[in-house]
Structure 1
Amino acid sequence: MTIKADARKHYDALREVLYPEHGEREGVTVVSVLRALPDWCAMASADGHDDLVYEVKEDLRKRVRSARIILGYDAPQRMLKDSVCGDCGGALIVADDASSDVRCIGTPEAPSCGTKYFRWQWIELLEGEGA
């Protein structure tokens, strides 16, 4: 339902900036809306509506991520409580099901340094040697 509502909201916003003289169309399906969004985002970006395009992409990226977790394609991620990055002191994040590498996500003051601890290095993290 949230995908449907967000898609419709962004479709209407893009239609308003791209086709302001056209009235609202009745009976547009969600599938049609989702198919139109990429092309309309490209058109809106070319017309200088970058803020709107960014908002659309961010909202739909979050929905795709949620859908992938719900459908079992991805696992939610969690920060590690008692370990920090050995290079910059940033927070570390990993998939709940331990299916990913541990990676630095930085601090509120500084972005990630890009350090990754591969799964075969986890024992070093646990023993305090890698972080």
Structure 2
Amino acid sequence: MAAFSLDLRHPAGAFLYNATRPRLTIDGHDVPVREWGVQQLDLIPGGPHKIEIYVPYVFPRRVGRVTLDFMVPEEGVALEYMAPTFTFAKGSLGAPGAQKSSGFRTTWTMNIVAAVVVVAAFVYLKSQG
């Protein structure tokens, strides 16, 4: 058996992720996850494996879904999952320290558009009376 470390992370500003926890399957088998953060799974045999991670949500049902075929050497392996900032974006899974949250620009763009609409509505309503 080889050691397998998985760091489950989400963007700091995405506090709604704290209301749930990620779902993890390895080779089609559910693996219990207690909380966000580092998971140590020492029961993984060395060799090829397939991992799937997502966060359950209302819509879409599987936020940040990502799958990865990977090799577990006898000395073990470490991976990092980063949930997306934008719920319709994919998660990121790979080498620890190199994963970034996808959808950040989309979220900021939507926030700026919403702010412009609110300001335009306020200016329009102010000019009407």
Instruction: Kindly indicate which of the two structures has a greater share of residues assigned to strand.
Output: 2
| TM-score range normalised by the length of the shorter chain | under 0.3
What TM-score do the two structures reach when normalised by structure 2? Answer: 0.23
Instruction: Kindly indicate which of the two structures has a greater share of residues assigned to helix.
Output: 1
